[in-house]
Amino acid sequence: MLKILAVLMFLGILYLWFKEEMYVWLCENEEASAACTIVGMMNEEHGYYDSADSYYEKACKQDYALGCFKRGLLARERKQKDIAREYLQRACKLGHKDACGLL
C-alpha cells in the first residue's frame, strides 16, 4: 500500500513539475487549441505578453472561441483597438457571449 501511495505521489509531483511543458507539447504537436490557450494564460500571468499573444492567436486560428477572446482582451489591455475588435468579433462569431458583450 505504501508503495502505491509513493508512486502516486511521485506521478503527481511529475505532473505539477511538467504540466506547462505538457501543454506546450500538446499545442505545438497536436494542435490542441485548449492547450494553446492554457499556455497563453500561463504566459500572460507571468507577464510574457508577446508569447501569450502568439499562443492565443494559434488557438484562435483553430476556431477556438476562448483563444480569440483572450487575444482580444489582451490587445484591448494593450490599447491595440483594431486588433482587439478583430479578435473579439471572431470570438463572438464563434459563440463567445462575453466577447459579444464587449463589442
Distance from C-alpha of 53 to C-alpha of 56, rounded to nearest angstrom: 5
> pTM to 2 decimals?
0.82
On whether the CB atoms of residues 75 and 83 are closer than 8 A, the answer is: yes
Query: Domain range for residue 85?
Result: 2-102
Angle, alpha carbons 101-93-62 (nearest 5°): 120
CA distance 59 to 78: 19
73 is written with which cell numbers?
482582451
Tens place of pLDDT for every residue, the chain, 103 residues? Answer: 566 777 667 556 656 667 788 888 889 898 899 999 999 999 999 999 999 999 999 999 999 999 999 999 999 999 999 999 999 999 999 999 999 999 9
CATH number of the domain bearing residue 15: 1.25.40.10
Which residue in the block uniquely carries the three cell numbers 463567445?
96
Total count of domains within the chain: 1
